[in-house]
């Protein structure tokens, strides 16, 4: 694998069900993500976007093929090893923010850092910096229910990158937002990715957002195909 490839999927198969009801979602899918690259994943619902992201993020085991993250082949690793790689090297953003409701914005961004072993002062300092960068620093002490949808997603993005991962995977991160808010949130996400040198694969139905990324891919018959937009 080339040195600048941070994520590689090779010959990925993924199916669900048993017997005659088997549904094949991914069929020998190949994909590579390079350092600092942003890739849009644009495909209709039901074609396997979320499955591809879950396999890439080590949340699901593929039925065949190999996932390599940061040069580490993951197919034969145990759950603890996969979890360690996921915590260290992969950040996730979902359509729904999944923030912990009983904690403030600051505490939500601190949480993954504390799990990784940072002290509270260290975690709080980085969390403040990230929230300020995402322009929600003034809402640091507010709980998720007290934040707007756009603010919730910006906090979720800050949390996803709190441990400085190699790869950011986002599944329709602006899908629940109105067009103006979606554009604002994506601009903040894009700036963060570009400034930090993160690599990102972002599933989106928004073609305006997709065109702002380095390249676009889709899923056709269970395989990843390059798109020209």
Model pTM?
0.86
Residue 185: the pLDDT is 80
Listed by start position, the domains of the chain span: 5-226
Dihedral-angle region of residue 172 (phi above 0 means left; psi in -120 to 50 means alpha; beta otherwise): left
Rounded mean pLDDT for each run of 10 residues along the chain, 229 residues in total: 81 83 87 92 84 92 92 88 89 84 95 91 94 90 92 90 90 80 82 84 85 91 85
Distance CA 173, CA 96 (A): 7
Instruction: Say what the pLDDT of residue 19 is.
Output: 67
Query: What pLDDT sits at residue 20?
Result: 75
| Rounded Cα–Cα distance for residues 229 and 215 (Å) | 8
Q: Which residues pair with 24 in a beta bridge?
A: 15
The rounded distance, in Å, linking the Cα atoms of 87 and 75 is 17
pLDDT of residue 107: 95
**Are the CB atoms for 155 and 190 separated by under 8 Å?**
no
Whether the CB-CB separation of 109 and 185 falls below 8 Å is answered with no
Maximum CA pair distance of the chain? 56
Q: In 3D, which of 17, 15, 21, 23 has the Cα closest to residue 64? A: 15
User: For the chain, what's the residue count?
Assistant: 229
Q: How far apart are CA 133 and CA 128, in angstroms?
A: 8
Write down the architecture of domain 5-226 according to CATH.
Answer: 3-Layer(aba) Sandwich (3.40)
What sections of the chain are H helices per DSSP? 49-56, 79-89, 105-115, 120-133, 149-160, 179-196, 207-210
Residue 13 pLDDT: 93
Tokens (6 digits) for 34:
């390079």
Residue with tokens 């082949």: 73
């Amino acid at each position: 694998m080339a040195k600048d490839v941070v994520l590689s999927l090779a010959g990925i198969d993924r199916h669900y069900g048993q017997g005659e009801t088997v549904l094949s979602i991914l069929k020998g899918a190949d994909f590579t993500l390079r350092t600092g690259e942003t890739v849009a994943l644009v495909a209709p619902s039901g074609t396997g976007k979320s499955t591809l992201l879950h396999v890439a993020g080590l949340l699901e085991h593929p039925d065949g093929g190999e996932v390599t993250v940061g040069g580490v082949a993951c197919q034969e690793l145990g759950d603890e090893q996969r979890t360690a790689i996921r915590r260290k090297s992969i950040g996730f953003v979902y359509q729904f923010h999944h923030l912990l409701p009983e904690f403030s914005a600051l505490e939500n961004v601190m949480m993954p850092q504390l799990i990784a072993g940072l002290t509270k002062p260290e975690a709080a300092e980085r969390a403040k910096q990230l929230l300020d960068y995402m322009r929600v620093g003034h809402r640091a002490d507010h709980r998720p229910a007290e934040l707007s949808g756009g603010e919730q997603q910006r906090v979720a993005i800050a949390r996803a990158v709190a441990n400085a991962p190699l790869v950011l995977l986002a599944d329709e991160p602006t899908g629940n937002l109105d067009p103006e808010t979606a554009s604002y949130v994506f601009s903040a996400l894009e700036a963060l990715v570009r400034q930090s040198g993160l690599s990102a694969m972002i599933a989106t139905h928004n073609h305006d957002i997709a065109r702002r990324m380095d390249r676009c891919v889709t899923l056709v018959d269970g395989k990843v195909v390059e798109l020209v937009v």
